[in-house]
Amino acid sequence: MGAMERRVADLWFTEYQTPNLRLGLRIKDVLLNKQSPYQHILVVDTDQYGKVLVLDGAIQLTETDEFCYHEMMAHLVLCAHPCPERVLVIGGGDGGVVREAIKHEAVKKVTLVDIDEDVINTSRTFFPNVSCALEDERVEIKPMDALLYVKEHFNEFDIVIIDSTDPVDFASGLFEPEFYKDVHKALKDDGLMIAQTESPFAEPKLLSEAFKGLRSVFENVYLAWGVVPTYPTGFWTYSVGSKSIDPRIQRRSAPKGTKYYSDDMHPLAFKLPPFVREIIDGD
Ligand code: SAM
């Protein structure tokens, strides 16, 4: 192969994760590159992580490691609740969290509220293993702004899962105490909510502020953590807000066939390294 041919074949996607940190993935193919009414949607194919969904330049999921994130977001709260019948998923248009939620027989209905229908359809087209539960009869899809949706619902959900993009533009409100208050109102008395709260290495301030915001609204807030290789630094956090029950206690077993979450992992996920505790407990 000549020098020119080598250069043409050597295509890379670069994610600008922070002003000082980038992730580079060699790409085999660009499968979709479009602007939706809300955000830029890119799907690339890679040798390292399979197909990758990118929104406004930020990796949302890869075929290879999506299970690490989706299983934790769903099962940390669903397995802690005694009887999770009604589940609300905010964001999460790819369907990965919904796929995990309907693995629980107790779940009677899952409502998915994502502002961007194009993300949902992109996942249906390119990520069938992630979006496969979106057609399940227990799943209701509402393509709308979740900030408006939660205002209209009171004492209705056992579980609320906030699977949002990073806090910019139309997603920024999803990290604010005003929104957490509406989520609190939408939950039943023994309800639990979980939100992804970024990396303690890449975004310690964001983690600390989101956690503080949740503490100002919920009776009890707990932090859990896990590994997601393609999210900035690979070290990811999940904040759990509770009105009454302690989510560190697993009340129901993990569904069969999980690859990251397990009965052993549940209590361990809530054990924090001291530097992370300092971030959430400091001023
Ligand atoms: N797991 C991903 C991550 O942390 O990188 C997030 C995945 S999911 C695709 C994020 C979704 O949140 C996007 O599809 C986006 O459209 C949706 N979203 C952002 N702001 C929203 C809002 N205000 N209401 C409803 N959905 C919103």
- Write the pLDDT tens digit of every residue in 154-199: 999 999 999 998 878 888 899 899 999 999 999 999 999 999 999 9
pLDDT band at 86 (very low <50, low <70, confident <90, very high): very high
Which two tokens mark 44?
């690339």
Look at residue 216 and give its three-state secondary structure.
Answer: coil
In the CATH hierarchy, which fold is given to the domain comprising 3-61? Spermidine Synthase; Chain: A, domain 2 (2.30.140)
For residue 159, give the amino acid letter: I
203 lines ligand 1 (CB under 6 A): no
ipTM: 0.97
Residue nearest ligand 1's atom 18 by CA:
91
Q: What is the percent of the chain with per-residue pLDDT over 70, rounded to a whole number?
A: 96
CB count within 10 Å of CB 208 equals 18
Q: Among residues 156, 205, 223, 211, which one has the least CA distance to residue 184?
A: 156
> Do 240 and 73 form a contact (C-beta atoms < 8 A)?
no
Residue the block writes with tokens 């399940």: 136
163, 246, 264, 281: which is the annotated catalytic residue?
A: 163
Residue 267's pLDDT is: 98
Q: Please give the number of the atom of ligand 1 that sits closest to the Cα of 58.
A: 5
Q: Please give the number of the atom of ligand 1 that sits closest to the Cα of 93.
A: 14
Residue nearest ligand 1's atom 16 by CA:
116
pLDDT tens profile 43-74? 999 999 999 999 999 999 999 999 999 999 99
pLDDT of residue 93 exceeding 80, the answer is yes
Residue nearest ligand 1's atom 21 by CA:
171
100 lines ligand 1 (CB under 6 A): no
Residue 280's pLDDT is: 97
Mean pLDDT of 132-152: 97
Q: How many angstroms does the Cα of residue 146 sit away from the middle of ligand 1? A: 10
pLDDT band at 5 (very low <50, low <70, confident <90, very high): low
Residue 282's pLDDT is: 82
Predicted structure pTM score: 0.96
State the average pLDDT for the chain. 95
131 lines ligand 1 (CB under 6 A): no
pLDDT tens profile 72-84? 999 999 999 999 9
Residue 167's pLDDT is: 77
The CATH-assigned architecture of domain 66-281 is: 3-Layer(aba) Sandwich (3.40)
60 lines ligand 1 (CB under 6 A): yes
Domain boundaries, the chain: 3-61, 66-281
Q: Which residues contact 110 (CB under 8 A, 6 or more apart)?
A: 87, 88, 89, 98, 101, 102, 136, 138, 139, 140
Buried (b) or exposed (e) across 255-272, using 16+ Cβ within 10 A?
Answer: beebebbeeebbeebbeb
Q: How many angstroms does the Cα of residue 5 sit away from the middle of ligand 1? A: 38
Strand partners, 61: 53
pLDDT of residue 8 exceeding 70, the answer is no
> Do 100 and 76 form a contact (C-beta atoms < 8 A)?
no
> Do 280 and 225 form a contact (C-beta atoms < 8 A)?
no
Q: How many angstroms does the Cα of residue 171 sit away from the middle of ligand 1? A: 7
Q: How many angstroms does the Cα of residue 90 sit away from the middle of ligand 1? A: 7
> Do 66 and 43 form a contact (C-beta atoms < 8 A)?
no
Q: Distance (Å, rounded) from C-alpha 69 to C-alpha 61?
A: 9
* 182 is an active site residue: no
Is 80 marked as binding a ligand? no
